[in-house]
Amino acid sequence: MQIDRTLINASGLGATQDQELGFGNVFSDHMLVRDWAHGEWGRAAITPREPISVEPSALGIHYGQSVFEGLKAYRGSHDGVIRLFRPDRNAARLEASSERLCIPTLPAEEFIECIRQLVATDAAWVPKEREHALYVRPMVFASEGHLAVRPARSYKLVITTAPVAPYFSSRSRALRLKAESRFTRAASGGTGAAKTSGNYAPTLWPMASAAEEGFDQILWLDAQEHAFAEEAGQMNIFFRIGDEVVTPELSGTILPGVTRESALRLLEDWGIKATTRRVSMMELAKASEEGSLLEIFGAGTAAVIASVASISHLGKEISAAPAASGSLAERLREELLGIQYGERPDPHNWIQVVS
Ligand code: COI
């Protein structure tokens, strides 16, 4: 695939050296843009990162016809090699999200090639520090200016990259979640399974009030009964109950996370019973009371594997009682990071080497 290239004169890397990375504070030198019009994708171009001009009536910003993805490029600290983790799964999810939002799809191999070339161009921006990575954010939005609520006739793919630290800065402290009993994230038949911008803005207000109450994240519940755990917005959720690990099944209202899928596979490899099914708050409260709720953790590209200490539900604390047999969250985290940084074998061929 031919990608046009205009490179920056002077890299901004040096100037950002002392800046705290956080998650999304710093961006690399280049971006990739590609337009879709007249029924086909045009040529992709890597250019210096700069503001893009947007038609003021773009359907993407007015009616939310936009989808995005998130994946990371990791640099092995022992060999300097840059690796992508399962970009084919992000390509498949982008395709599914695009179909749901009436956005033209992008062939998976072209999506991956765009990312490979962009990451290779900004290879110097892939952090050397373990657990830091170059986050890749592809997004496709409806760029046509129009006022009718209908699928646009033109779209723009923009891929930017950002060196990042882990999403949750305080790894030393397990997270506190609030099970949200008033607001919901996604209802049956809606867009919960798609990675679309419109799933995120409505969570800001409930998230801000949860933060005011001292919580780190929200655990979203099902929209119908507010009784079943769904996901935590920026990550999927797992519960270790007795000798079983459970995560809510993909019912159409939960984002099918790549880390979720990978964690399930690793648990299966290790002979640990891992089930996807509905998990009620009542079951969790009972397990917590009986001491069989051994772990709660989130899984996501940005979050990796994040331990959760407790979930507050209708004023009651549902807490995990750490198992004497050691933390599965920690084992999963180390295995995933080990594969991503090229330190451990990759039996499922999840890694694609960039350079
Ligand atoms: C990711 O994990 O890549 C995400 O997209 C979460 C993001 C919304 C912070």
Tens-place pLDDT, residues 186-198 = 999 999 999 999 9
Architecture of domain 4-164: 2-Layer Sandwich (3.30)
Ligand 1: lining residues by beta carbon, under 6 Å: 70, 234, 300-302
According to the model, what pLDDT value does residue 323 have?
A: 72
Domain ranges of the chain: 4-164, 175-340
pLDDT digit string, tens, across residues 264-299: 999 999 999 999 999 999 999 999 999 999 999 999
Ligand 1 pocket check: which of 69, 167, 203 to mutate, most ligand atoms within 8 Å of Cβ? 167
**Whole-number average pLDDT of the chain:** 96
Q: pLDDT above 90 covers what percent of the chain?
A: 93
Residues in CB range of 342: below 8 A, 6 or more apart:
74, 76, 78, 79, 81, 83, 351
What is the rounded average pLDDT of the residues 135-153?
A: 98
DSSP string for residues in 145-172: B--SSS--SEEEEEEEEEEE--SSS-TT
Ligand 1 nearest-atom number relative to CA 72: 3
According to the model, what pLDDT value does residue 18 have?
A: 78
CATH code given to domain 175-340: 3.20.10.10
Residues in CB range of 329: below 8 A, 6 or more apart:
238, 295, 297, 305, 306, 307
The reported pTM is: 0.96
Packing angle between helix 87-100 and helix 108-121, nearest 10 degrees?
120
Cα gap 257→262, rounded to integer Å: 9
The closest of 154, 136, 190 to 60, measured between CA atoms, is 154
Residues in CB range of 199: below 8 A, 6 or more apart:
185, 186, 191, 192, 255
Tell me how far the alpha carbon of residue 302 lies from the centroid of ligand 1, in angstroms.
5
Place of tokens 């971006």: 31
Cα gap 86→70, rounded to integer Å: 11
Helix (H, G, I), strand (E, B) or coil at 62: helix
90, 135 in Cβ contact below 8 A? no
